[in-house]
Structure 1
């Protein structure tokens, strides 16, 4: 590793390496040695920047969770455009087509990581919780615009959509679902709360 590299660059290099290992080999293969080997740096580099491997993993998860905020803003901004089902379908495809499903698997498979994350985020499963908030915020914006019925329970619809979406993408070894399969689930869940059935 060259000297003089900014700590943020090293962190991001390690995070990206961890994602590649996670996506390729799954949570059980994610070790500090696997990450540093994938990143092409000495094992000591990781331990110079993080207290231990669970601290590294917690920072990885929290960094990736923060990226959902950008997606949430874009989804909220799409309210009133396109179709409600189409917007949610794209959001689920974008969310679960990334490393998000693997991150959820990582969190559920490591007790030490879960305990550390609980201190930073006391409720819910990271990624899934933020994703449900994203969908609820979008549905609320659509409700305010009148495209979703006033009595729609967005706080129930959002986790239902996230749970169904997660199940569609959960099998890492299979090809991801086609957009039409995701749209079918979305349309079924939001049927009855969207004013125009074509949306």
Structure 2
């Protein structure tokens, strides 16, 4: 794209291009040139809007983590419907079919990106810690409805579900796990925390 052409909503265009590169080629292929080529714009566009590439990537990761707010609301609204195991199976399938799986190695791969994120996100991997908070909030709602046992340790169960789910989906080039395998993991992690009718 010629340098003189105006691009509407540069951040969105560049972030969406970053997600496509990450999902298709993985974090090792992610360069400013790859992002701008995928976005169809001149390389200088990225550097006019961000201090450097790690600044851009930090903003990208935080943007994708922030998008989980809408999903958290939708998940909480399922409380009391269907079964707890099915609701969590669905949300974990959606989460790990997204760019979340590719963001984890991206953060691991880039020391400077990790350092930038620590300035505003002191603990954990942004997308995964937001997802754990989303699941904890949902489990709390189900506990209030009596479908999760009152003594269930939801602050431990939520990250356990995220960790186990991530392990199932971690091979981005392989075949994703079948729904029944994902559901079996959810039921196993929540063993003892659910009323019998919810598993």
Regarding TM over 0.5, the answer is yes
Q: Is the 8 A contact 1:76 1:141 kept in 2?
A: yes
1:172-187 to 2 correspondences below 5 Å: 172-187=172-187
Match of 2:76 in 1: 76
Give the match's secondary structure for 2:173. coil
Output one character per residue of 1:52-90: Cα deviation in whole Å (capped at 9) or x when no partner. Answer: 000110010000000111111111111000000000000
Q: Is the 8 A contact 2:32 2:53 kept in 1?
A: yes
TM-score, structure 2 as length reference: 0.96
Number of aligned positions between the proteins: 197
Give the C-alpha shift of residue 197 in structure 1: 4.2
Give the C-alpha shift of residue 20 in structure 1: 1.1
Q: Is the 8 A contact 1:191 1:197 kept in 2?
A: no
1:49-198 to 2 correspondences below 5 Å: 49-198=49-198
Q: Which runs of 4+ in 1 moved over 2 A?
A: 1-6, 196-199
Give the C-alpha shift of residue 192 in structure 1: 1.1
Match of 1:37 in 2: 37
List runs of 5+ in structure 1 lacking aligned partners.
none
Counterparts of 1:5 and 1:28, CA distance in 2: 27
Counterparts of 2:5 and 2:109, CA distance in 1: 35
Give the match's secondary structure for 1:127. helix
Counterparts of 1:198 and 1:16, CA distance in 2: 37
